[in-house]
Amino acid sequence: MEKITALRHAGSRFFHNRSGPGELRVHCMKPRFLAQRHTGMIHFRHPSDSKTMVPFDSIINSLKETIILFDGNGKMVFINKSGEELFRKSSKDMSGKRLSQLITGEKKISPLIRKTVEEERSFRGKSVSITVGRKINVDFSLSPFYAHDRVEGAILSLSENLSLADREDHDQESLVYLLGSISHEIKNPLGGIKGAAQLLCLHTSDRPITEYTDLIIRETDRLNAILQDYLTICRKPSFHPVNIHEIVEKALTILAVPIKKAGISLKRLYDPSLPQVRGDESKLLQVFLNIIKNAVESMSRGGTIDIATSPSQELFGDHGKTKRMALISISDTGRGMTDAEVEKIFLPFFTRKKGGTGIGLSLSKKIVNDHGGMIKVQSTRGKGTSFSVYLPFRDDG
């Protein structure tokens, strides 16, 4: 039989023999399928259902792994939907480019593409660091691409290994549940303590005692406010169209005093044409309060906070379609972080601040994820930190 492709990534080989003009009989493990060439694509049809035709590229686009096809000269001729999401670019923008042009500074995989074609052999690699707008860790597989019984190129499969913070997402769910449970348990007796202090204050005229009862009331009010914030975070988001600029400005108003005390200047670059986003205003307010508060605390001797909004340059997958999101960037000129600290920044209870809880940013990431968005951070020690919050636009459909 004549080889048509070799997709070793999936552990399968596809073979065909001709059974008539324009037809290829394809064997792909079991059961046997009938394939026909149509408009330059291969369509699969099961013998028991003559009406069902499945385009081959639909199968490839359903894979979570990035699949890239390079021609004999090492130039990209096809990339699946997962690949478009990984590179945040359309296939049209990447077509005809070499891997070294798609991945900044890539030197480990690129040389193997030519060897795959010339030597007709496969290569695999694990835990390779690449930069695609962000630094990620991937496993890769390279296999020859066969057509008409000869090697016509190479197929690259990339499988992203989740970062430490992504692997710990389940800890955020546990954290939210724990905070909600504890807040409910504390809130009721806290009300009793405040009520008792108020009654004691009414039945005494002794000044030292009233000072103590006033202190108890103030502290219970403060704790109650904290618990209410936690309960707000723990409840499920209620989505509706919101103006992201109004939410950011509200956060800046709340933090206006510490911003002024620290001698920090604000620079705003808002896109007035930015559509509304789909979100929960109170929860998103908590996200921006956490990020801006951290920026302020990193610049005790003055500095600058830059806040910008725009549609994202990156494309995101949404039920088979690619869409842009609203991008809110918040950058500071503070002390910055090391790479090791950036890796852990969203982990529950990780903090660099004395007296910090390590909860704020972890919950912020949880909130953004609940909105169907994502949050990224870049930082350089001694130069500052930049947070990028991506949120879906409102669904007008």
DSSP state of 10: G
Cα 127 from Cα 337, distance rounded (Å): 24
Count of other CB atoms within 10 angstroms of residue 306: 17
Which phi and psi angles does 4 have, rounded to 5°?
Answer: -110, -45
Q: What is the pLDDT of residues 118-144, one digit of tens each?
A: 998 999 888 888 888 777 888 899 999
The alpha carbon of 364 is separated from its chain's Cα centroid by a whole number of angstroms, namely: 13
Our CA angle for 362, 297, 274, nearest 5°, is 65
Secondary structure (H, E, C), 211-249: HHHHHHHHHHHHHHHHHHHHHHHHCCCCCEEECHHHHHH
φ and ψ at residue 285, rounded to 5 degrees: -60, -40
Distance CA 293, CA 287 (A): 10
As a whole number of Å, the end-to-end CA separation of the chain is: 50
The secondary structure of 171-216 as a DSSP string is HHHHHHHHHHHHHHHHHHHHHHHHHHHHHHHHT---HHHHHHHHHH
Tokens of 286: 């908590």
Per DSSP, the three-state class of 379 is strand
Residues of the chain with pLDDT under 70: 1-55, 162-177, 179, 184, 229-230, 232-234, 318-320, 348-350, 353-358, 396-397
Q: What pLDDT does 384 receive?
A: 92
Q: What pLDDT is attached to residue 329? A: 96
For strands 277-279 and 264-269, give the pairing. Answer: unpaired
Q: What is the pLDDT of residue 232?
A: 65
Write down the pLDDT at residue 26.
Answer: 34
Phi, psi of 46 (to 5 degrees): -75, 135
Contact 375, 368 (CB under 8 A): yes
Report the pLDDT value the prediction gives residue 218, as an integer from 0 to 100. 87
**Which residues are within 8 A (CB) of 202 and not within 5 positions of it... i.e. 6 or more apart?**
none
Q: Global pTM?
A: 0.51
**Nearest-5° Cα angle at 271, 270 to 277:** 100
Are β-strands 384-391 and 123-131 bridged in parallel, bridged antiparallel, or unpaired? unpaired
pLDDT at 397: 43
Cα–Cα distance measured from residue 286 to residue 233, given in angstroms and rounded to the nearest whole number: 8
Q: Of 370, 396, 371, nearest to 276 (Cα)?
A: 396
